[in-house]
Structure 1
Amino acid sequence: MKIEHFAFNVADPIAVAEWYVTHMGMTIARKMDGGPNTHFLADNSGQVMIEIYNNPPDQVPDYANMNPLILHLAFVCENPEEKRAELEKVGATFAEEVRIKDGSHLVMMRDPWGLAIQLCKRGVSMLKA
């Protein structure tokens, strides 16, 4: 089995999708106008997607008040310090920074809607090339 996507119920899927495309390098693989305004966003490998939508019958989680260790979206990032500075200029906020003995550098942030995002520079890559 292979994961196709992970879905997030958000208040404003159009704005969230636009931010991730503009600032996180994602592309719109598919979108559905109207209704829940579903957007499937692919990473630059085209192998991993997230789904952003608004489903009013259910609640939008209070991402901003969730501990980032409960839920976060992690991105491979070659220069977490530089990307942190870029993202802070466009509405993201810093949460914490961790350096691990294996050389990994992890920067936890929140997007403008409060969802935790992590910038990961691993000492040893966990992904297959």
Structure 2
Amino acid sequence: MLLEPGHTPLAMYLLSFGTSYELYVNGQYITANGKVATHREDIEPYALPQVCSFDNGGDTLDIIVQVANFSHKYGGFWHSIRLGASTQIQMSRDRQVAVDVLLAGSFFIMSIYHFGIFSAAP
């Protein structure tokens, strides 16, 4: 991928994968989920969303994702990888976490309310 000269530090938002993977940018190890292997006994699948930041320093970007799957019917990419400025990607992730916390809190408050109604009934 060709980048504009003088670009800002970049980041990737990797949503859940069905398998293990390793991510390399320009030949440098960036992050991994689980353990990538060529044999079923050695692989460790893991699904965890991640934000990984990196400073490319050059005008080209070579992204390599090694994916290994022996355990899931629909292994591999479930969602696209988001690539952008580090601050924008982090803000997107923070916004998603805030929505998740708000929804979980709403469900918790509703459950307390309904439990109170149930326990107050004769």
**Fold shared, TM-score > 0.5 on shorter chain:** no
Question: Which has the larger share of strand?
Answer: 1
Larger RCO (CA within 8 A; separation ≥ 6): 2
TM-score by structure 2 length?
Answer: 0.22
TM-score by structure 1 length?
Answer: 0.21
Question: Which has the larger share of helix?
Answer: 2
Larger-Rg structure: 2
